[in-house]
Structure formats: C-alpha cells, structure tokens
Amino acid sequence: MGRWYHWSLAIVGMGFLGGCTSQLPPSQVHSVAYYAARIPPPPVSPTIPAAPTQSVAPQNVTLHIVVNTEQRKLYLYRGPTLLATYPVAIGFGGSAPRRIRGDDKTPVGHYHIGYVRWGTQYGPFMLLTYPNRRDAEWGLREGVITQSQYQAIVYAIDNGQVPPQNTPLGGYIGIHGMGPGFSYSRSATVFPGRWTAGCVALSNHDAQNLAGIVEPGTPVEIVGKVGSYGQQIGESRRLAFQYRHVADSGLGPSTSTDRDVVQKPQTE
C-alpha cells in the first residue's frame, strides 16, 4: 500500500511517541500524524510537584516569543533581534482565536509564560497563561463559563497570576518537548504537523534550550491565518452551543470527567 503507509504503521508499532496527544473518534484518515496522535505517552511520571500559584509579572520585557501556527515556527526575539527559530507542531484541531476544552485547538492570542516546569513526561513544560481576558469575556458571553469562573480568571490576570486551568475553556496549554521516548540530540527534530491536544511542541533539544532562556512573564504571541477568523469563530460558537446543550442535560463539568484536573499536570 505504499512506503508512506507502512512507515506510518511502523511508527505505531514502536509505540514511543510522547506529547499532549488528542483523543479523537475513529476516522478514515490514514496519515502518519493520525496514527502517531493515538500512541500513548511513555510511562514516565512528572518528577516535581505541581507548581504553586505564582506571579507571572514580566522580569525581562525585551524577550518575547511569536508562534506562527500557519508556518509551524516559533520565533524567539530579544527586542527586535531574532535569536532563534524552532519548528513546532500544534493542535490536532489546528489553531483558532477561540477554543473550549477538548477541541484540540491551539489558541491564537497574547499570553505569557506562567511557569517553567522541568522533568515532566514531555520534558520541560512552559505553561501559557491561557485563558486570557478576551478568552474569558467570550466564554462568559457565549455561556461556556459561569460568572464566578469569569471573575476568577480576571482576578488572576489582574494580579499577575496563572488563571484557573480547569474551566470549560480548557487549560494546561503550553510549550513543551517530545518527552524521554525521543532523542535529545541537537540533530533530532520535532514530529511535524498537527498532533497535540492544543499545545505547541518542540524537539527535546529545542525545548530544553528555550526553557533555559524564558522565565515567568515572557510574552508569547500566537498568530494564525487571519483569513479564516470568521469561520473559526463560527466553529467555536457551535461548540459553545453544543457544550451548553450537554451541560443542560446534566452532563456538564460538574458530573463529567474533567480531563484538565484528572490528568494534571498533563497538558490539554
């Protein structure tokens, strides 16, 4: 059936792909990314406890990150100077300016590094301060989150803290590596394409380099294809409507399994 197809199955058989993979229903897609996204992460537990609430006030305002989800590139700047460019993988659902938990989309917007956690099953994990104020305003307006959840998000943002990560908007979106199942060599590259559950993935070597440079408060701008903005908003609104319908049926976050909480500190 072709070298590409057999190579895809070989990767699955090896069973070593790590990362914040998505859980999707059966599909007729038979690409490498499709199969790879279903391989469970290696059985490695985080070696450090959950990070406490901490300030994410910028310490180095000249350092900033731009992630271009269309180009699949991460650019690290110091002021106007480009320091490094890294190839990345993004969410299985692509990228969008609005998202909810479980849609496997990488959020488009302005965030900061909330904390850097070493020794996770994905290597160094750089949490993003998602959701931001605009995400929260949209979620409240569309009925995705409650007033109290909105207030908790805004309070954290106003006080320079990591916002709540367990609301229906989702959480634990970050920048991370491939994990110990993959090489840490400089020559190793990130598994390409769209296979995470919303995070931005780097190679292990690149993730270690980046994690050693950034700090809490480093700005991160995630950009996507502007031309598809209206369509993405429409998709998010449909998802929000479906979420309200499920919640009204008594199957909302109060009774369903909250992936963001149960799998903490894994990424969404």
Mean pLDDT of the chain: 74
Q: What is the mean pLDDT of residues 128-132?
A: 97
Distance (Å, whole) CA 268 – CA 199: 7
pLDDT score recorded for residue 181: 86
Q: Is the pLDDT of residue 171 over 90?
A: yes
Q: Which residue has the higher pLDDT, 159 or 41?
A: 159
pLDDT score recorded for residue 120: 92
Q: Which residue has the higher pLDDT, 254 or 132?
A: 132
Instruction: Tell me how far CA of residue 67 lies from CA of 110, 154, 174, in angstroms.
Output: 10, 24, 12
Q: What is the mean pLDDT of residues 28-47?
A: 39
Question: How much of the chain exceeds pLDDT 90, in percent?
Answer: 57
Banded model confidence at residue 180, pLDDT cuts 50, 70, 90:
confident
Q: What is the mean pLDDT of residues 229-240?
A: 52
DSSP string of 85-128, one letter each residue:
EEE-BEETT-EESS--TTS-PEEPEEEEEEEEEEEEBTEEEEEE
Give this prediction's pTM. 0.68
Distance (Å, whole) CA 135 – CA 93: 18
**Looking at residue 49, what DSSP letter applies?**
P
Q: What is the mean pLDDT of residues 129-134?
A: 97
Q: What is the mean pLDDT of residues 157-164?
A: 95
Nearest to 59, CA basis, from 239, 263, 213? 213
Banded model confidence at residue 268, pLDDT cuts 50, 70, 90:
low
pLDDT score recorded for residue 62: 86
pLDDT score recorded for residue 211: 97
Q: Is the pLDDT of residue 228 over 60?
A: no
